[in-house]
Amino acid sequence: MAKVYDSKPAADGFHMPGEHEPHAEIWIAWPERSDNWRDGAKPAQRSFVAVARAIAEVTPVTMAVSAAQYDNARSRLPDSVRVVEMSTNDSWMRDIGPTFVTNGQGERRGIQWDFNAWGGLVDGLYFPWDKDDEVAGKLCEILRDDSYKAGIILEGGAIHTDGDGTLFTSEECLLHPSRNPNMSKEEIEQALKDNLGVEKVLWLPEGLYNDETNGHIDNLMHVVKPGEVILSWTEDRQDPQYEISQRAFDFLSSATDARGRSLKIYKVHIPGPLYITEQEAAGVDMSDGMEREAGQRLAGSYANFLITNGRIVMPMLDPKWDDQAREVLQDAFPGHEIVGVAAREILLGGGNVHCITQQVPAV
């Protein structure tokens, strides 16, 4: 079986590569929760299939599926996508899967974070979350990758790295009382350095407006490559997002990364604002933790895309802004192919393309 190390990845010479570096495969988890995904998750399943299809043309995809949904998923997905039976509570692979680290000598290991459904008993989105918390270990076992247990609560969507010593996160999320209330900011930062092999942590104040993950960084911004980032933006001063984006821009503009570089910032306008319709809300079962009510603002963002092996898979969310978002991404990634996927159904569940995927770096 795959070994679980007691040491720290950085001390063993490992670091988290940037998402722009080569991938061996991408993992996704199949949606089926009827209190999160409307109409028995059928519309969401179509969107997940579209995302998997777009990725599978350049990177192998594995879909984790419950026993009950296995045949359904297998019949809907292209033959090139591997389907693996695995129990989950929901389908946010970015947050429940392992974060992978490599050492430059052809070795890769996974990090198993503790998962508490974005807030545990304080403000978590569902209970229980025990199956989700086991996914990272199971995934490493399937890949035969050794791993570490970090011992802190963290989701993959809460961190972005440039693969060159710099990590981006938000104070709103990592310092939230529902994550690691017994740790100081300094202790959390040290844990990030120890586990991810980074030298500098850039703490943005907060995440995207009304993001139920307590402000995941991957909904507000994305790393293009070392020294370059994409930031969610709006010119509407009446929008609560305006102040958030402005503070983030001011912070990033004055920051330097681990190598002393100033950051080039690409602004991508947010879609909408987008809101849940009455018809959409009516298709969702009642839930204790997740609010899926008509009129609720969705945390829509074009920064929630995936980079994989020369392709950008971006969410299409609003005809008014989709083309402009594509132009910004093409400008930032001149050597990449930009592929858009209709993603409102994913957004209705609380996230987007980046949130439902987790990359396994190539070694």
Q: Which amino acid is at 271?
A: P
Helices (H), 70-224: 70-76, 93-96, 120-123, 130-143, 171-174, 185-196
Q: CA-CA distances (angstroms) from residue 97 to 61, 138, 149, 290?
A: 14, 9, 12, 21
Q: Tokens 């102040």 label which residue?
A: 243
Q: How far apart are CA 174 and CA 90, in angstroms?
A: 21
Pair type for strands 147-153 and 108-114: parallel
Determine phi and psi for 170, rounding to 5 degrees.
-125, 140
Report the 10 Å Cβ neighbour count for 13: 13
Q: Which residue has the tokens 């999320």?
A: 173
Tokens encoding 304: 């929630």
- Collect all residues with Cβ–Cβ distance below 8 Å to 362 and sequence separation of at least 6: 21, 22, 23, 24
**Cα 26 from Cα 55, distance rounded (Å):** 8
User: CB of 172 within 8 A of CB of 30?
Assistant: no
Whether a cis peptide bond, with omega within 30° of 0, leads into 128 is yes
Q: What is the rounded CA–CA span in Å between residue 187 and residue 297? A: 34
CA distance 349 to 191: 30
- Tokens 């980046």 correspond to 354
Length of the chain: 363
Contacts (Cβ under 8 Å, ≥6 apart) of 194: 8, 9, 10, 11
Q: Nearest CA to 359 among 19, 14, 63, 9? A: 19
CB atoms within 10 A of CB 260: 8
Point out the residues that are catalytic. 355
